[in-house]
Amino acid sequence: MSQSFVKYHATGNDFLIFSHALSNPSEVAIKHCHRRFGFGADGILFATPSEIADIKMHYYNADGSIASMCGNGYRAFVRYCLDKGLLEGTSFLVETAVGVIESSLYEDQDIELKFNTVIEELKPPHVLKPTKLKNPVHIENHLMHVLFVGTLHGVVFVDDPFKVSDELAHAMCTSSFFPHHINVNFVAVKSPTELSVRTYERGVGWTYSCGTGSVASGVVAHSVIGCESKLKVHVLGGDLSVRLHDSFWHLKGSATIVGKGEML
């Protein structure tokens, strides 16, 4: 039985999106997100009704694992739901694995979401030993600031994120200090208002962009380095806006349709 999907990207983070629940989402993700033997994507998304929000978002990484939250995926999901008529208006409540997340549509068609979960102190089983944001841990001879922004993130300050080797990124992501692995953001502070970020995602590898990673990088740059509370984040797939407003961190950026397809 064939199943249709629509492909979207949000600053280069790409997704296959379905309008209905999938009976075997992990298998679909592994097979069809493959860059050579499938359609190619960082993950899959699908919608189901919600009893506590306007709609519910489900996300699976390219390796078939469940992701609790994805900032770029969220924006692509909302854009898809608007295009399909599953959402309307300019303010939305979307149920995710980490709760209901509020978002808004701007006149320029960018979508901004408000993060209601930023945890700066973590305990097992997420980490081997308790951590605090401002007390970095030593991982592979580097200092990493650890926090939870809908999903687990590490922030490592470097001179040039694009000179970090695959081997180092993978080793940090899969360090035994993180029993379920971790998303690692390599960050260069360009100015008090600008960051350059490259993210190695668990279950995916290097990505063109990571929304939650951009927020995590902004939180650490502001709290630890003293950067401004409104930041432009440069990623390989474009630019994102991260800001602290009314005690909540926000992420704003674009989401664009790529095309339609059908799985046979």
Catalytic residue positions?
Answer: 70, 210
> Is 144 in contact with 155 (CB distance < 8 Å)?
yes
**CA-to-CA distance for 124 and 71, rounded, in angstroms?**
24
List the beta bridge partners of residue 241: 232, 252
Tell me the C-alpha to C-alpha distance, in Å, between residue 83 and each of 7, 75, 88, 180: 12, 12, 9, 35
Q: Which tokens hold the place of 97?
A: 């694995």
> Is 231 in contact with 243 (CB distance < 8 Å)?
yes
Give the residue ranges of DSSP H helices in 104-180: 166-173
**Nearest CA among 247, 231, 152, 144 for reference residue 196:** 231
**CA-to-CA distance for 150 and 69, rounded, in angstroms?**
5
Tell me the C-alpha to C-alpha distance, in Å, between residue 122 and each of 37, 128, 132, 192, 222: 38, 10, 7, 27, 19
Which amino acid type is present at position 166?
D
